[in-house]
Chains A and B, each alone.
Chain A
């Protein structure tokens, strides 16, 4: 089990990571989701031993490993730029870690070929790595880490340099490999889809702090803050006041009142009088309710595989974006209904 306790790191005098606490248990894949520059690569480098934190501790099975040099930690790290040894062949690259462990050559050959088979690169064993495509190079890099049988896998945006189709193929293979290996892994990425596909657990790293952890479903459905929600790509935030009429709770905004149902209501929803709503989904209005309704003029409508991405403006000057099942002309007036379980409620953040 890997424990990261209160780890802080500065870069050029500015705080990069502040008081990071994380745990990765055996057999678990943790995806660390963060924007570029959020310090996620630095955290990996601290765990790998390539950099030292200014404070805090990194422990493996309860013991501090800060004083163990990189090459004795047995943590595998896969870089975005593959970092293959360009002077060696594919097979020699994959065998590198094993020869460092002074494994017997026959065994090395065996393990190397097994690892290459897992990443579907067996027929490339004798090739020069510089002759391979980006996707093939990353498969070799993967096999190289796999073959050395580390106690922990770490991936630093391994697929960011590849195009979409290649990425999807590799993510699926990576998922199988991680499940099969049973080795704990930390997967750093800025891509939600990758994180959702691979992660047992998700940690959001924003501005050098972990702002939320949980399963992908928990995190996506119940972001802990407006910041987390924005980071996950949600929009349509609107200020609201809690009012209670006839024992029913409403959230009053300038464009109308909203009723909200949540299975696990956030503290803000329960205890705060002034909150921020996040309207996640909308349907075309068909009912007769007075609440949870938005009326606006269509400003834009774009086809996507999941529906029509529609932008609309209300008479109050608010601007919303929703995925709708129907297409509209720019300038059409539409009336939308927001289902009560498709609204998140956050505290108002002070900038």
Chain B
């Protein structure tokens, strides 16, 4: 009897996995399965030539823009990584934040920022037009490959600088210097010694950047224009604009195929350790002394500043600047500082493209983000508890809960749309589907933040609490949760900002009368007229501010940073 009781008590521990697993099944595996089956059904039927042509040209463009973006990121990123790893610079902390900032910015904000800088109505174009009395904006980048590449560089520069620069800074200078004493010139030192030693990190950073460029959605949709569609964008267009779900499914399958290969490649490459590292806390960085060194450092910082700070400044500045006429007005414009774009957000005028006042989008976003972060933290806690158990199944589950990282938001959005748009599970029309999918997207980050915190509680503490008479429930609420409260706060804030900026899945699932901030920005940007444009930028500034505040909170309260994934 006692044997069975023991087994049952033992098995009961696995119950903590029930909720996370049901969640993953409902919002991840089942939707992906539906995408699979839909595309397979399509394969059995006739496939017209025009469809193949569309698929192959979209695939070609996806690769083309990813290759270009990755190359430009490398060309700019490597010198910056060199400067970061070799010179002690004043204000390096600030520069470091700047380089990492884009990583947390929502794609729509980045797209809006580049639009504000180099778009048709952007600061540069309006300034040049005013200066030289031009009829047409001289910079025609938005709607072209150039804008896509610029935004991708903005996004991924930080990856190169952080990964390659970090490795470079921790690489022992001795092998290189030995090569110099053996007769190698500085160039030979780099080519024959330093680069080969950095190669593993270099390639894994390269693949990661390529992966992000390859799966880019918001940037391409908002900045790429009509003719330039990546697989992700084409999936969206086919599914949402043309309601051609089978074709969208086929594209999704293709997208998943490439993504899985790239993710596998990244995992394989990033696992390799650096061979020779500095011993202890040595710092190889020096003050830039010679004139050449100073010129290199200043030039590098300048490029960085132009690329990362200029778009953000342009975004904020342009949202407060009246520079052109609203739609329907002709003639002279009163240019100058204005708050009209912000004020207009509160008015549900006839020109509004919403059924509700625009500021509702902000409230919707906050509601969705709060719900998503709560769901993510609760499920993350269950998972982190579950991961404290040992065994092969647990290791397997650990890997399984990282899977949402690899799936693109667009894929998930399409899957959920296909899976839950008919009775009995007509969930796609409920706004609650948004926090669910956002929670799923944030879940891997949340787990990676909570799990180390939970396992860092010394067993002696738990044991002594139990010896002092704490019941299992007391143990959880009085001992364990207080221990992980900081990690929980970080997770919540991070999940919150992820949800606020999420655009890919939201674009599929949001109802017209329930827009979130990114959706509103997207709609405003696709509308003509100076007021709509201004309102899009104003919304983007609000989003930028909320995300910035989140990161500031994490820094301010010295919350533990998120684990590297």
A residues within 8 Å of B by Cβ? Answer: 48-50, 69-77, 79, 81, 83-88, 96-97, 100-101, 130, 141, 144-145, 148, 150
Contact = CB atoms under 8 A, between A and B. Distances in A.
B182 A87 contact: no
B45 interface: no
Contacts of B184: 71, 96, 100
B275 A87 contact: yes
B199 to A, nearest CB: 7
A96 B175 CA distance: 12
A76 B181 contact: yes
Size category, B interface: 20 to 34
B177 A50 contact: yes
Given A83-B172, A83-B178, A148 B183 contact: yes
Nearest to B182: A97
B174 A79 contact: yes
B183 A81 contact: no
Interface string B154-183: 000000000000000000101101111111
B177 A101 contact: no
Given A100-B188, A130-B275, A85 B181 contact: no
B183 A85 contact: no
Contacts of A88: 196
A24 B172 CA distance: 29
Contacts of A79: 174, 177-178
A345 to B, nearest CB: 42
Contact of A87 (B180, B188, B196): B196
Contact of B196 (A72, A83, A85): A85
Contacts of B183: 71-72, 74, 97, 100-101, 148
B180 A96 contact: no
Nearest to A74: B183
Given A88-B196, A141-B178, 14 more contacts: A48-B181, A70-B180, A71-B182, A72-B183, A73-B181, A83-B174, A85-B193, A86-B275, A96-B182, A97-B182, A97-B183, A144-B178, A144-B182, A145-B181
Contacts of A74: 183
Interface of B: 172, 174-175, 177-185, 188, 192-193, 196-197, 199, 275-276, 279
A50 B180 contact: yes
A49 B186 CA distance: 13
A77 B183 CA distance: 11
Contacts of A72: 183
B279 A81 contact: yes
Given A86-B197, A87-B197, A87-B275, A81 B181 contact: no
Q: Which 4 pairs across A and B sit closest by C-beta, in order of nearness?
A: A100-B183, A83-B174, A97-B182, A86-B275
A75 B185 CA distance: 14
Contact of A83 (B177, B185, B192, B199): B177
A331 to B, nearest CB: 44
Contacts of B175: 83-86
Nearest to B189: A71
B493 to A, nearest CB: 39
Contacts of B188: 71, 100
Contacts of B179: 85, 96, 100
A69 B275 CA distance: 28
Nearest to B287: A12
Contacts of B193: 85
Given A79-B174, A83-B276, A130-B275, A100 B181 contact: no
25 contacts: A49-B180, A50-B177, A69-B185, A70-B177, A70-B181, A71-B182, A71-B184, A76-B182, A77-B177, A77-B178, A79-B177, A81-B172, A83-B172, A85-B175, A85-B196, A85-B197, A86-B175, A87-B199, A97-B183, A100-B183, A100-B184, A130-B275, A148-B182, A148-B183, A150-B181
A85 B178 CA distance: 9
Contacts of B197: 85-87
B181 A71 contact: yes
Contacts of A48: 177, 181
A37 B279 CA distance: 15
B192 to A, nearest CB: 8
Contacts of B185: 69, 71
A77 B181 contact: yes
Contacts of B196: 85, 87-88
A275 B183 CA distance: 52
A96 B177 CA distance: 13
A77 B199 CA distance: 25
Nearest to B180: A70
Q: Which of B177, B178, B182, B196 has the most CB of A within 10 A?
A: B182
Contacts of A71: 180-185, 188
A187 B276 CA distance: 24
Contacts of A75: 181
B69 to A, nearest CB: 29
A86 B276 contact: yes
A86 B197 CA distance: 7
A101 B185 CA distance: 11
Nearest to A130: B275
A40 to B, nearest CB: 16
Contacts of B199: 87
A49 B275 CA distance: 26
Nearest to B276: A86
A267 to B, nearest CB: 41
Contacts of A96: 179, 182, 184, 192
B274 to A, nearest CB: 9
Nearest to B188: A100
A79 B175 CA distance: 9
A145 B179 CA distance: 10
Given A86-B197, A87-B199, A81 B182 contact: no
Tell which of A79, A83, A97, A141 has the most Cβ of chain B within 10 Å. Answer: A83
A38 to B, nearest CB: 17
Nearest to B176: A83
Contacts of B192: 85, 96
A71, A97, A148: residue with the most chain B Cβ atoms closer than 10 Å? A71
Contacts of B178: 77, 79, 83, 141, 144
A330 to B, nearest CB: 40
B55 to A, nearest CB: 41
A326 to B, nearest CB: 44
A83 B185 CA distance: 17
B174 to A, nearest CB: 4
A48 B175 CA distance: 14
Nearest to A96: B182
B184 to A, nearest CB: 5
Contacts of A81: 172, 174, 276, 279
B182 A100 contact: yes
Contacts of B177: 48, 50, 70, 77, 79, 83
Contacts of A85: 175, 179, 192-193, 196-197
A130 B193 CA distance: 15
Contacts of B180: 49-50, 69-71
Contacts of B174: 79, 81, 83
A144 B172 CA distance: 18
A72 B188 CA distance: 13
A144 B193 CA distance: 14
Contacts of B172: 81, 83
Question: For A76, A81, A150, which residue has the most chain B Cβ atoms within 10 angstroms?
Answer: A81
B110 to A, nearest CB: 37
B561 to A, nearest CB: 29
A71 B188 CA distance: 10
Nearest to B274: A86
A118 to B, nearest CB: 17
Nearest to A79: B174
